[in-house]
Structures are given as structure tokens and as C-alpha cells.
């Protein structure tokens, strides 16, 4: 990476970080390829975020690190080259890479930020909070050693089983204290933003945001409150995960069915 490219990447990292502390939530309609990323920028959004599930689907794989890391990073590189705004990359759980190698890969593809989740896709379940916090701290240290102000969005996966079971708020509420404990540990380890994926019930969101001393990202689920209410609850960042890709493919299927039936 040339000096000018490095300087540009640093500016994009700092812009992304600053947008977590703006007057309104940072809205991230997640992209999956160059065309969708360019559409996000053309619509006026200041950042492009990738969705691992959507990118993997485009590449012909399932989510949860079933796609080869090099293919996922190559897709991210194509997106980052094609737009003139910061790109934050869903790097799942880091693909089993050592922190320094993961940071080097993210820097090579010009990622201004990344999502890093605490699910252990190899062993199953969640990593222990202390173990994951230590790993996140190593990621932050590796980035600092190369003067790379990478923005880390630490995903907290405590609510994933409840989400898969239907996002029942009664199931969600008892999990909030563990999510807060994990988020606090990850923030202390150097994360810039905390992402309790699947958390949507307003009371639970309010409790989480009030107890976590850092910006909070929520995913826009069908039962989620309106964006204005999420803003009032103190949410700093709203993303759409794979849902825009799923909607686009559903529309494509409808168009194909109409063509077939005509």
C-alpha cells in the first residue's frame, strides 16, 4: 500500500469512527457486491457495510464461515476499490486467523472497519467472554502496531438462538445481563462499537444501551421499532444484515415467476 493509499484509508477509518458519535444513527444498508455497494453510495449513504451471509450467498456458500476467507476478502476488496466511502467488512469470527494476519488482510482490502463476532464456528457455541476479549485486544494491538485505526464492531451473539427461534421478547429479556457483560468486556478490550445482533425489543434495547458505555449497533429486524424510536433509545448504528439481499432475491424470484407464467 502506497503512502497516499494509507493516508486515504486512515481518513476513511476516522470518518467511520466519527459517524458513531453523530446526532443521528449511522444507517448501514448492507451490500453484497460492487453493484449493490454502488447503489448504497448513489442513494446517499456515507458508508458501505458488507453482509457475510449475503456475500457468501453470492459466492455460492452458506454463512457462518463456510466460505473460504480468501474469497470473502477478495469480494470485500472489489467493493472497497469501487466506492469512495469507508467500507466496513463483516469478517465473521475472523476465520480462525491469528489477529495480526486478520488485521493484515483487512488492511490489504482497505477495510475501514470490521464486524467480529463471538461465535465459535469450529467448536460451536460462544467463546468465553474473557477469551474473546483477549482476542479482540490482540486485534486492536496488531492494528495499532501498523498505525491502522481500524474500527471494530464487536458482535455479541447471545441473542442468536432467540432470533432463530422467532425473536420472542420474553426469551430475549433474561439474556440481556449476559450480553451487557460481554459487551463491556469487549469495549474494555478496544472495540469501538457493540453489536448485540437480534436485540430489538425496545425495553431490552434501552437497558442494553444505558448499561454499555459505547456506541451500540442493532440490526433492523421486521419486529424492530421505527428508526426514530431506535434513535430515541440511543442506538448509534443500524444495519440490515442479509435482509436487503434476501428481499432483492425474493423480488427477482417474483419477476422470474411472472416471466415464466407469461
What distance in Å separates the CA atoms of residue 121 and residue 126, rounded to the nearest whole number? Answer: 8
DSSP state of 21: G
**Distances 123 to 126, 167, 183, 196 between C-alpha atoms, Å:** 9, 24, 21, 21
What whole-number percentage of the chain has pLDDT above 70? 99
Residue 253 predicted with pLDDT over 70: yes
Q: How does pLDDT run across 16-71, given as a tens digit for each residue? A: 999 999 999 999 999 999 999 999 999 999 999 999 999 999 999 999 999 999 99
DSSP secondary structure, 58-73, as one string: HHT--TTT-S-HHHHH
**247, exposed or middle or buried, with CB in 10 Å at 0-12, 13-18, 19+?**
exposed
**Distances 26 to 45, 129, 166 between C-alpha atoms, Å:** 9, 27, 26
Beta bridge pairs of residue 216: 194
What distance in Å separates the CA atoms of residue 208 and residue 211, rounded to the nearest whole number? Answer: 5
Q: How does pLDDT run across 149-188, given as a tens digit for each residue? A: 999 999 999 999 877 766 677 788 899 999 999 999 999 9
Domains of the chain and any CATH numbers:
3-261 (3.20.20.60)
pLDDT confidence of 76, banded at 50, 70, 90? very high
Residue 109 predicted with pLDDT over 80: yes
Q: Which helix (H) or strand (E) holds 131?
A: helix 129-145
Amino acid at each position: 500500500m502506497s503512502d497516499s493509499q494509507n493516508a486515504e484509508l486512515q481518513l476513511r477509518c476516522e470518518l467511520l469512527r466519527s459517524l458513531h458519535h453523530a446526532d443521528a444513527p449511522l444507517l448501514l444498508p448492507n451490500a453484497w457486491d460492487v453493484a449493490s455497494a454502488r447503489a448504497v453510495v448513489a442513494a446517499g449513504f456515507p458508508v458501505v457495510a458488507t453482509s457475510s451471509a449475503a456475500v457468501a450467498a453470492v459466492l455460492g456458500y452458506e454463512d457462518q464461515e463456510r466460505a473460504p476467507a480468501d474469497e470473502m476478502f477478495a469480494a470485500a476488496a472489489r467493493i472497497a476499490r469501487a466506492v469512495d466511502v469507508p467500507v466496513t467488512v463483516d469478517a465473521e469470527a475472523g476465520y480462525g486467523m491469528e489477529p495480526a494476519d486478520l488485521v493484515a488482510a483487512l488492511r490489504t482490502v482497505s477495510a475501514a472497519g470490521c464486524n467480529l463476532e463471538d461465535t465459535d464456528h469450529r467448536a460451536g457455541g460462544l467463546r468465553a467472554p474473557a477469551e474473546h476479549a483477549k482476542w479482540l485486544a490482540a486485534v486492536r494491538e496488531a492494528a495499532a502496531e501498523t498505525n491502522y485505526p481500524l474500527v471494530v464492531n464487536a458482535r455479541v451473539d447471545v441473542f442468536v438462538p432467540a432470533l432463530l427461534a422467532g425473536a420472542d421478547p420474553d426469551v430475549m429479556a433474561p439474556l440481556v445481563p449476559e450480553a451487557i457483560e460481554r459487551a463491556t468486556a469487549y469495549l474494555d478490550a478496544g472495540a469501538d462499537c457493540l453489536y448485540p445482533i437480534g436485540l430489538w425489543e425496545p425495553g431490552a434495547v434501552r437497558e442494553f444501551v444505558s448499561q454499555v458505555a459505547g456506541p451500540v449497533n442493532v440490526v433492523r429486524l421486521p419486529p424492530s421499532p421505527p428508526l426514530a424510536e431506535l434513535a430515541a433509545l440511543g442506538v448509534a448504528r443500524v444495519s440490515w444484515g442479509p435482509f436487503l439481499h434476501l428481499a432483492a432475491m425474493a423480488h427477482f424470484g417474483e419477476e422470474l415467476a411472472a416471466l415464466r407464467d407469461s
